[in-house]
Amino acid sequence: MPTALDHEFVRAVAGAADRLVAPLVAGPDEEPAGVLHRDLARRVKTLVAAYRSPDSVLHGSGRAVAAATTHLRALRAAQTTTGLFAGGDNVQSPPDSGFTVNDVCDAHVLAAGAGPELRGVTDALAEIAGAAAGSLLTGGVHTPNHRWELSAALARLHRSFPDDRLLDRVGEWLAEGVDIDAEGLYSERSANYAAHVSNPSLLLLADVLGRADLRDAVERNLAATLDLIRPDGTVETVLSRRQDQNHPFPLAPYLPHYRLLAIRTGRGDFSRAARLAASGGIDDPDLLAETLLTPDLCRPLPAPAPETLPRDRYLTTARLAARASATAHTVVYGGSDVPEHRRIRSGLACNPTFMRLFAGEAVLDAVRLSRGFFDLGPFRAADVERPADHRYRLTESLTVAYYQPLPADLRRDDAAYRMADEGRFSAAMSFADRPRDEVSHTTRVEVDLREDGADLRIDISGPRVPWSLELTFRPGGVPEGAVPIGDGRWCLTAVPMTYRVGDDEIRVAADVASGEPLAGPDRSDVLRYDPGQDYSVVGGTDATTGNRVYIGGFGPHTLTVALRAHRSAPAG
């Protein structure tokens, strides 16, 4: 019997592709000036897929062939004598060229099976792929996910142009082991790179190589991601070590992977995630080629499993907890890499947000804590304990030093002492050789997650320094009960406040258990976020935007903060 198809899905996918290529076929001979090689290859792949698909308005269209031919000329012109592509920030980059070759090889498979009308396109794609193969075979990478993108390109090259050397090189990369931890998170912990690189690359390698273990790795990552899906249809990124750690990431790019594995495994939870990923409409033009190359994607989804609430998850490797109920969705995070590495760096998890709270349309996007301690920046937990279910203790201790004179035997007549970094700054002072007088500061945040929010107890110990707790609410509401202090900022003291959006709200009440009274709205010097010297020394910041409410003072302090969600129509 013929395989049943999800015609609604197929039509939506074809429509997304048609929207991309419609302007291209309107002027099929127009040279695509200023288009980067990755976009050129993606356009060619989509044009060929539209030509092949009976559900596309360009099925069998000569204008699609003409536009693909025009773009292939531009793509070939972007190829250097090494076979790698020019353009973009990374110079002579094998992995960046691998992204393009992956699309080129997929387009080649589609064009080669399309008949004589696409013979010229097929030959041009083969020429481009062949020119790149040597450099991809011997080339290196500089991020973890590049290994799988480059390996996928080599496997695709072998699929169309069999060469055992390509498979041998894939074997070298895979012999390092897939960088996925016990919780199912890749080492970069990035939603962006999981959805766009690691998962699709490993699924391709699993199919080409017959490696079920690679498909299993993707399944584990998708299972972990289920508990990172937020009520607004995005995936939690605060734990990421890449660029997406400060930005929301949509669930939509996960659609093909959740859909494929839901169909192949029958997992109802993956089916639910696939439906959620498509709920805002399908607008990814790449999906049309994927459905032609992987027909299983077109089969109907299995019945979705109902969401179970309340739900709790603690990802020990990332030190991230999430609790979801019908009233609130709360995230607690203490997995920053900064306390260990003592620097802000690309590739490290640096986001100082340690909590979020969703209550329908009322969203507390970020809770952060600044301390005026030697300009070392906001609180980032170095340690997380879990003393009981739903309770988490986040701790960071900072120590800085004043340095004594060098011992007599280490003094130099020329005063040319070693340039060294002492954790805050660098100087030619041979810091490691000097006696030290240390000053310490400890911040401890205890979070008790509840079905309707959270209770916080914040202990700030050490010398008397200013501190400020920043609550950043998503725009759309007004903090009622807090005192405005200008520039989208409010001050909260002893009077509770409510942040309301429609009929949904988050209530906040603070109380001083020990320490001085909280700072009032006249102390704007205290009521602010300080990103720390790693940002400020170069004139940068990682500050949030939105409606920011501050609670501040001069420590030592013990402060309690109650956060309560109230919704007019709870989820579920």
pLDDT, position 548:
97
pLDDT at residue 1 above 60?
A: no
The pair of three-digit structure tokens given for residue 410, joined into one six-digit string: 């280490």
DSSP reduced 3-state for 301? coil
pLDDT, position 425:
87
The pair of three-digit structure tokens given for residue 236, joined into one six-digit string: 């939690």
CB 354 within 8 A of CB 368: yes
Q: Name the nearest CA neighbour of 149 among 87, 190, 189, 204.
A: 204
The pair of three-digit structure tokens given for residue 158, joined into one six-digit string: 């072998």
pLDDT 10s digits, 242-267: 999 999 999 999 999 999 999 999 99
End-to-end alpha carbon distance in the chain = 39
pLDDT 10s digits, 508-566: 999 999 999 999 999 988 999 999 999 998 999 999 999 999 999 999 999 999 999 99
Q: Which amino acid, 164? A: D
pLDDT 10s digits, 22-45: 999 999 999 999 999 999 999 999
pLDDT 10s digits, 392-451: 999 999 999 999 999 999 999 999 999 999 888 899 999 999 999 999 999 999 999 999
Radius of gyration of the chain (CA): 27
pLDDT at residue 100 above 80?
A: yes
- Sequence-distant (6+) residues with CB within 8 A of 379 are 352, 354, 368, 369, 370, 371, 394, 396, 443, 445
Strand partners, 180: 186
CB 150 within 8 A of CB 137: no
Q: Name the nearest CA neighbour of 460 among 560, 364, 329.
A: 560
pLDDT 10s digits, 454-467: 999 999 999 999 99
DSSP reduced 3-state for 78? coil
The pair of three-digit structure tokens given for residue 466, joined into one six-digit string: 């200013």
Backbone angles phi, psi at 443, to 5 degrees: -120, 130
For residue 499, the Cα-to-chain-centroid distance in whole angstroms is 27
CB 291 within 8 A of CB 10: yes
pLDDT, position 2:
65
pLDDT at residue 572 above 60?
A: no
pLDDT at residue 344 above 80?
A: yes
pLDDT averaged over every residue in the chain: 95
pLDDT, position 469:
98
pLDDT 10s digits, 106-141: 999 999 988 899 999 999 999 999 999 999 999 999
pLDDT 10s digits, 254-309: 999 999 999 999 999 999 999 999 999 999 999 999 999 999 999 999 999 999 99
pLDDT, position 494:
83
How many angstroms separate the Cα of 52 from the Cα of each of 39, 55, 273, 487?
20, 9, 29, 54
pLDDT at residue 497 above 80?
A: yes
Backbone dihedral region for residue 377 (phi beyond 0: left; psi -120 to 50: alpha; all else: beta):
left
Cα–Cα distance for residue pair 347/514, rounded to 1 Å: 39
pLDDT, position 529:
95
pLDDT, position 445:
98
Cα–Cα distance for residue pair 445/317, rounded to 1 Å: 19
pLDDT, position 570:
61
pLDDT 10s digits, 351-379: 999 999 999 999 999 999 999 999 999 99
What angle is formed at CA 416 by the lines to CA 414 and CA 420, rounded to 5 degrees?
165
pLDDT, position 3:
77
Domains and CATH numbers, the chain: 7-298 (1.50.10.10), 311-398+441-566 (2.70.98)
pLDDT, position 423:
84
Mean of the pLDDT values across residues 69-90? 91
pTM: 0.94
Q: Above pLDDT 70, what percent of the chain?
A: 98
For residue 139, the Cα-to-chain-centroid distance in whole angstroms is 26
CB 372 within 8 A of CB 357: no
- Sequence-distant (6+) residues with CB within 8 A of 408 are none
